[in-house]
Amino acid sequence: MRENILKTNNVLKKYFLKQKILPILTIEELSTCKFLEDIFLENGVRTFEITLRTEVALKAISIMSSNNNFIVGAGTLKNEKDVCSAMSAGAKFGVSPGISDNLFNECQRKSFPLIPGVSSPSEIMIAYNRGYEILKLFPVEVIGGIKMLKALAGPFPDCSFFPTGGISQDNAKDYLNLSNVYGVAGSWMVPKNLVDQSDWNAIRKILKSSLKNNA
């Protein structure tokens, strides 16, 4: 089973080989998928996360993963049912807010790449001992931010982190400059209020600026 996780670690590394920022989407209207697809294609965004927080989330994953240009991940995975539903919808990887044996076991059985959410050294040890080397540190700004990541570098030299929770255009670069940060994730690139307003030009500008500043 551990061998499955080691293999999925390599899959995740391929997904993020060229893209170090992960847009997080919470989609409430399926009509937004087409607009976001066009914006992502224009700006070379290949990998992104759709959270399982809305009634249409799985359908949105299905729609956007049908485009071969995209690698769509499912966010907010909390249990075995979420894993099965995400995989059936076409998600290529998952992201969780926390960890549990049930979640780990299901992802291992299905060889489903997972970026597990951790917020303490104890949780990092549990995930790492399972074979996970790329971890979501969440909510990073609340639990210590950059200072926390610098402190974790010593005892966990083999772990790489995707800090999430409080990442913005203003601090993303500071996080990416850390040696143990594999990438950053956040919703600031596609703000919900702008999606609600269908302000696609504003979203386009924010995304383009984020990619340019964090290349």
Q: Which of 136, 147, 173, 208 is catalytic?
A: 136
Q: Which of 20, 49, 92, 106 is catalytic?
A: 49
Question: Has 49 been annotated as catalytic?
Answer: yes
The single residue listed with the structure tokens 């990073």 is 140
Identify the DSSP state of 137. Answer: E
Question: Has 173 been annotated as catalytic?
Answer: no
Q: Pick from 98, 102, 143, 148: which is nearest to 123 by CA?
A: 98
Q: How many CB atoms lie within 10 A of CB 84?
A: 13
- For residues 171 and 167, give the distance between their C-alpha atoms in angstroms, rounded to a whole number: 6
Contacts of 31 (CB under 8 A, 6+ apart): none
Residues tagged active-site: 49, 136
